Copies of this chain bind each other. A is one copy, B any other.
């Protein structure tokens, strides 16, 4: 061991390595590939990266250490670690820096679980008109009477037989052209991109080809392997965005890139590309094809994911006036990005609307086709960032709203992503205040359920919406969101911080060994998120001169599991009949698939991106007022009972 490096061991995984002194435990975990929750990107803001320094077990592992092997306790840690935990050896991984060897234990709640990725492809009717098409031709051999070159021989035949004019050829195809033509005895199939460029040449007659549609979400990346012949999705693969360890939300990653100007951006990009290539390897393996049999690719993502993927400095989209590097769609050779499909192919990256309304939203719009409809729709895409579009064939306005990550489970004391152990559905009996809840199970567990059901670890997005709605219906909170402290139930109690909390799951129902409860501060976060959506929607509607919409479309994995009635109840969306609310799942991914299978939709996407008006909410004078008003839970009919809502059941 050199004097500059110390040994670190992470339990329970057992990963270990020698790390430079002075690095934080979080940085060490990133270097060793140990996933610690770091929602805030290591800023000491979220308190999610609590770890336990295990002194007692050092000797067993041949490591000599003590708490002195870490830098001193930081004030920031006081906020998240109480005296008891402190005595047990808890630290924040982002605050404690290495001075000597340490053994670190990750409590379950600090581990990043594999998210239950609910990004299955929707069944859709997509008119098949792919950008890459296959054309089979039989050529006459060159002779002394007709010694025309191979490329001209091929393209003249493609023009004659298939009407393709002025074709060019990618350099890497040209290299092998003479050998392929002769090996194939002059019977070949050309893959042509956009009627312009030959990007693959197969010996003989080939009819099947493949395309890949990718949705790069802040948290989840989904890839759909589609037949370009039938349009059918043959295989789907998802992964956590590997950048999650550099910060859970868009702003944390922008900050990470800014704070590490030497390699931060490159590191995030490389890990994403490498993850994409892993997914591609799995998909082609499952389909029994080769990577270079994938001839076309489309990609959507929010503006930050777009920039980071392209290694474009995302700093400027993170600060006013939020100008992106480019709006229009891009066609980039996959080899220039290091993506391991056919090297002559292009990846088509959908256009961006604005600094915070990205290609994912354009994907949603070509999937939902607002621009072709008479009825006015509200489309809400709640991912780690929230985007709203309201409009119809006449006019469309979009906005980005700073929902914060609450609706995805972050910044909520017991919040978590939609992973096994997450409470996804909650009901509270208004009489007894008893709570029943449903926990997301591991697929393997759900096949062999334990007698007492799955244990809870935290609350995910759909559960969080339920919390607010059920609290209100059961009279646990006022319309303002404040707890009714007079309620007679042991669930409502004062916690260690002196604040009030309501217990959703008792210790024995939980896998963490602690009660799972919702605090007054948590309720405030949920209110902020739902108010941002509501206020943003209201401002767009006012700009459009309307006071109602004909349909509400909720996109995003989150939307799939949301209870429409609860969403209406808490006042996240404007009043509408519940049957006019549609959850469409991963519409951004659907948009990527549509653009993959129909080239006209790519043009439509470019048209939409230019056409949608962007409303910058932060500069709208009325926004603050609307937002404050929307924090309250509204007085209107309870969508469950159709009865007037109680102002104050418990009083």
CB-CB < 8 A to A320: which residues of B?
144
The reply to whether A144 and B316 contact each other, CB–CB distance below 8 Å, is no
Select one of B148, B321, B336 contacting A144, CB under 8 A: B321
Select one of B147, B354, B616 contacting A323, CB under 8 A: B147
Interface: A324 (CB within 8 A): yes
Interface: A607 (CB within 8 A): no
CB-CB < 8 A to A311: which residues of B?
175
Assess A327 versus B152: contact at CB under 8 Å? Given A321-B142, A619-B144: yes
The reply to whether A324 and B174 contact each other, CB–CB distance below 8 Å, is no
Select one of B147, B313, B332, B619 contacting A354, CB under 8 A: B147
CB-CB < 8 A to A171: which residues of B?
310, 330, 332-333, 336-337
The reply to whether B326 and A174 contact each other, CB–CB distance below 8 Å, is yes
Interface: A352 (CB within 8 A): yes
The reply to whether A312 and B619 contact each other, CB–CB distance below 8 Å, is no
Interface: A487 (CB within 8 A): no
Select one of B179, B326, B614 contacting A169, CB under 8 A: B326
Interface: A328 (CB within 8 A): yes
CB-CB < 8 A to A310: which residues of B?
171, 174-175
Interface: A177 (CB within 8 A): yes
Residues in A334-380 with C-beta less than 8 Å from chain B: 336-337, 352, 354-355
The reply to whether B619 and A326 contact each other, CB–CB distance below 8 Å, is no
Q: Which of A153, A178, A320 has the most CB of B within 10 A?
A: A178
Q: Which chain B residue shows the least CB distance to A327?
A: B149
The reply to whether B325 and A150 contact each other, CB–CB distance below 8 Å, is yes
CB-CB < 8 A to A13: which residues of B?
none
The CA of A618 and the CA of B320, in the complex, are separated in Å by 73
The CA of A169 and the CA of B326, in the complex, are separated in Å by 10
The reply to whether A147 and B355 contact each other, CB–CB distance below 8 Å, is yes
Residues in A148-193 with C-beta less than 8 Å from chain B: 148-153, 169, 171-172, 174-175, 177-179, 182
How many whole Å from A124's CB to the nearest CB in chain B?
30
The CA of A151 and the CA of B327, in the complex, are separated in Å by 7
How many whole Å from A313's CB to the nearest CB in chain B?
5
Select one of B144, B169, B322, B326 contacting A152, CB under 8 A: B326
Interface: A3 (CB within 8 A): no
Interface: A432 (CB within 8 A): no
Interface: A2 (CB within 8 A): no
Interface: A651 (CB within 8 A): no
The reply to whether A312 and B175 contact each other, CB–CB distance below 8 Å, is yes
Assess A323 versus B148: contact at CB under 8 Å? Given A175-B312, A316-B178: yes
CB-CB < 8 A to A147: which residues of B?
321-323, 354-355, 614, 616
Interface: A641 (CB within 8 A): no
The reply to whether A325 and B355 contact each other, CB–CB distance below 8 Å, is no
Interface: A143 (CB within 8 A): yes
The reply to whether B143 and A324 contact each other, CB–CB distance below 8 Å, is no
Q: Which chain B residue shows the least CB distance to A147?
A: B321
How many whole Å from A306's CB to the nearest CB in chain B?
11
The reply to whether B326 and A142 contact each other, CB–CB distance below 8 Å, is no
Select one of B144, B178, B355, B618 contacting A312, CB under 8 A: B178
CB-CB < 8 A to A618: which residues of B?
144
CB-CB < 8 A to A316: which residues of B?
150, 178, 182
CB-CB < 8 A to A148: which residues of B?
323, 327
The reply to whether A150 and B355 contact each other, CB–CB distance below 8 Å, is no
Q: Which of A146, A171, A182 has the most CB of B within 10 A?
A: A171
The reply to whether A152 and B328 contact each other, CB–CB distance below 8 Å, is yes
CB-CB < 8 A to A169: which residues of B?
326
The reply to whether A352 and B321 contact each other, CB–CB distance below 8 Å, is no
The CA of A310 and the CA of B333, in the complex, are separated in Å by 19
How many whole Å from A238's CB to the nearest CB in chain B?
27
CB-CB < 8 A to A616: which residues of B?
144, 147
Q: Which of A149, A153, A179, A355 has the most CB of B within 10 A?
A: A149
CB-CB < 8 A to A177: which residues of B?
312, 325-326
How many whole Å from A53's CB to the nearest CB in chain B?
41
The CA of A147 and the CA of B325, in the complex, are separated in Å by 11
Select one of B150, B312, B321 contacting A174, CB under 8 A: B312
CB-CB < 8 A to A355: which residues of B?
147
The CA of A168 and the CA of B355, in the complex, are separated in Å by 20
Assess A323 versus B150: contact at CB under 8 Å? Given A182-B316, A616-B144, A619-B144: yes
The CA of A153 and the CA of B311, in the complex, are separated in Å by 20
The CA of A331 and the CA of B366, in the complex, are separated in Å by 35
Q: Which chain B residue shows the least CB distance to A618?
A: B144
The CA of A78 and the CA of B171, in the complex, are separated in Å by 47
The CA of A179 and the CA of B315, in the complex, are separated in Å by 9
CB-CB < 8 A to A151: which residues of B?
325-328
How many whole Å from A464's CB to the nearest CB in chain B?
32
The CA of A355 and the CA of B169, in the complex, are separated in Å by 19
Write out, one digit per residue, whether chain A residues 405-436 have a CB within 8 A of any chain B CB (1) or not (0): 00000000000000000000000000000000
Assess A149 versus B619: contact at CB under 8 Å? Given A177-B312, A310-B175: no
CB-CB < 8 A to A143: which residues of B?
321
The CA of A323 and the CA of B153, in the complex, are separated in Å by 10
How many whole Å from A597's CB to the nearest CB in chain B?
24
The CA of A174 and the CA of B326, in the complex, are separated in Å by 8
Query: Which 9 residue pairs spanning A and B have beta carbons closest together?
Result: A151-B326, A142-B323, A147-B321, A149-B324, A149-B327, A144-B321, A178-B325, A142-B321, A171-B332
Q: Told that A147-B616, A177-B312 touch, could you supply 13 new A-B pairs with CB distance under 8 A?
A: A147-B355, A148-B323, A151-B326, A151-B327, A152-B326, A171-B310, A171-B333, A172-B336, A174-B325, A177-B325, A178-B315, A178-B316, A182-B316
Give 10 A-B contacts (CB < 8 Å), ordered by A residue: A147-B614, A148-B327, A149-B326, A150-B323, A169-B326, A171-B310, A174-B310, A178-B313, A178-B315, A179-B313
